Structure 1
Amino acid sequence: MKIKFNKKKIRVNIFVGLTCIALGIFNILETDKKEWSDFAYLVLGALAITHYLYDLKTQYLTINNGTISKNILYGLGGKIQLKDVTLIKSYAGDFTLITNSKKFKIDAEFIDDTSLEKLKEVLSNLNLAPENTPFKKQEA
């Protein structure tokens, strides 16, 4: 299951990419003296568009075979086994999944509303004590 980025997050990368490429082309065509920064705009624009395409294809999170992983282009993602989660903390809408050896932060503002509901459903179905999850209320 893929947990999708919200459209705003994805559109930022394409906007930045196209803007940088436009600035680079404008600077190259407008000035006689070419500088390295003119070409840097083109490179930054290409990187931002690559980031956009990567995010569009892979999305933010993947939940598969009991593993949740972040799909981040620059290798800063990571993965965690859902069965190893001992505590889920929620702060300002974000979630932190904690195991005995790792913390895995999920930034909810990046997630599409429909996908956020799916994620909450998956996390609420983990076999955790009520005091270790924000999804289950303690029974009186």
Structure 2
Amino acid sequence: MKIKFKKKRLRINLIFGMVWLILGILSIVTDEDLRWTDYGYLIIGILYLGHYLYDLTYQYLTIENGTIQKNGLYGFGKKIILEEINWIKKFAGDYTLKTEQNELKINTELIDKDSLNELNKILAELNLPSKKTPFTNNV
């Protein structure tokens, strides 16, 4: 199951990528003296478009085979096993899932509303004492 980004975040990366690409193309076409910054615009545009495509494909979180993985471009993804979670903290709308060795922070502001409901349902189903979870175990 994939926990999706908000569409607004995806669109912003797409728009930034297109704007930087257009600026790069315009600067290369209109300038007689090419500078390295002209190519920098193109590189930034390609990076934004790559980020958009990565986020569109992999989304924010992947929950499968008893694990939850935060998908991150450039190798910044993190993965923990759901059964090993012994504490869920909720602070300022964000979740921190803690195990004995690791912790995973989830920014709920980035998550689509329907996906957030699914995530809440999955986290509420974990067998944790009521003092260690913001969810009620009455699911």
Give the RMSD, CA atoms, in angstroms: 0.9
1:100 Cα offset (Å):
0.7
Report the 3-state secondary structure (helix = DSSP H, G, I; strand = E; otherwise coil) of the residue aligned with 2:73: coil
* d(CA) in 2 for partners of 1:85, 1:99: 5
Asked if residue 69 in structure 1 is aligned to residue 69 in structure 2, the reply is: yes
User: 1:51-66 alignment to 2 at 5 Å?
Assistant: 51-66=51-66
What residue number does 1:88 align with? 88
* d(CA) in 2 for partners of 1:75, 1:108: 21
* d(CA) in 1 for partners of 2:74, 2:11: 18
Moved over 2 A (4+): none
What residue number does 1:30 align with? 30
1:29 Cα offset (Å):
1.5
* d(CA) in 2 for partners of 1:100, 1:17: 40
| TM-score, normalising length: structure 2 | 0.96
Structure 1: segments with no counterpart, 5+ residues: none
Aligned residues: 137
Which digits, 9 at most, give the CA deviation of each residue in 1:33-84, with x for residues without a partner? 1000000110110111011011111111000011000111111111000000
| TM-score, normalising length: structure 1 | 0.95
